[in-house]
Amino acid sequence: MSRTTRTRTSRTAVATAGILGGAVLALVIPSMASAHVGVSPDELVAGDHGVLTFSFSHGCENSPTTALRITMPDGLASVAPTMDSDWNIQVERGDDGLVSAVTYTAISPVPTDLRGAVSMGVGLDESTPDSLAFPVVQECVEGATEWTQLAENGEDPHTLEAPAPVVSVSAAAADGHGDHDAAAGTEDAQAGTAPSGTADPLGVVLGAGGLVAGVAALVVAVLAYRRRA
């Protein structure tokens, strides 16, 4: 094989590796960034009621999920877990009689390639803070993951490795539209409407960056070849 042929073969290999590497990053990084316990809706109106759905699509590493223990934040006037034939439900109450934590134990462990979800109705009052964090402990056949991290002031929550689900609380609208929108969201949740998927901004940016890197590698290889051909 001549030196020229070997050089061309090397350039082709570099370009191919760049494209494959970018494609892998585009596919893998978004899925890594979106691996968490999410809550929907992520916003409620002060003084209103709503149904929160906590969902996950993975276990602890590759181990199936057996239970979710969700700790209630201060500021909830009421909590009513939703009955579900797929889960056993255990309710813990504080000295004030309010629900302090809810544990959902799966009748059968949830495989890592299936989506699992539990829900509860919550009531807010006018003094509810503008942010409600719900620390979650995800127990698995082997191991457990604590989704309890909270972003500090100015910190991007997407950079956290194990963020707790957070619900924002907005002030009630003077014209009552806020109450209507919250009620509509509650009806959808009770009817079993699945929340629309939202791409994780960090995953999208990193995935796009990986793809661009692969394309750039191809362009560099082609230009180098044309200069020396």
> CA-CA distances (angstroms) from residue 34 to 56, 121, 147, 155?
10, 25, 13, 18
pTM exceeding the 0.75 threshold for the entire prediction: no
* Statement to judge: residues 7 and 96 lie in one domain: no
pLDDT, position 155: 83
> CA-CA distances (angstroms) from residue 67 to 28, 55, 119?
26, 12, 13
CATH number at residue 62: 2.60.40.2230
* Statement to judge: residues 141 and 224 lie in one domain: no
What tens digit of pLDDT does each residue of 17-47 get? 444 444 433 333 333 344 689 999 999 999 9
Whether the CB-CB separation of 158 and 117 falls below 8 Å is answered with: no
Total domains present in the chain: 2
pLDDT, position 200: 52
* Statement to judge: residues 48 and 65 lie in one domain: yes
- How much is the average pLDDT of 99-110? 98
Range(s) of the domain holding residue 145: 37-198
- How much is the average pLDDT of 137-142? 97
Q: Which of 71, 105, 69, 109 is nearest to 89 (CA)?
A: 105
- Side-chain-facing half-sphere of 209: CA atoms under 13 Å: 8
Whether the CB-CB separation of 132 and 166 falls below 8 Å is answered with: yes
- Cis bond before residue 41 (omega within 30° of 0): yes
* Statement to judge: residues 148 and 215 lie in one domain: no
**Is residue 70 pLDDT above 80, yes or no?**
yes
- How much is the average pLDDT of 105-113? 96
Supply the DSSP symbol for 150.
-
pLDDT, position 182: 47
- How much is the average pLDDT of 205-219? 50
* Statement to judge: residues 212 and 147 lie in one domain: no
* Statement to judge: residues 175 and 63 lie in one domain: yes
* Statement to judge: residues 145 and 211 lie in one domain: no
* Statement to judge: residues 97 and 162 lie in one domain: yes
pLDDT, position 40: 97
* Statement to judge: residues 56 and 148 lie in one domain: yes
Residue 126: partners with Cβ closer than 8 Å, 6 or more residues away: 46, 47, 172
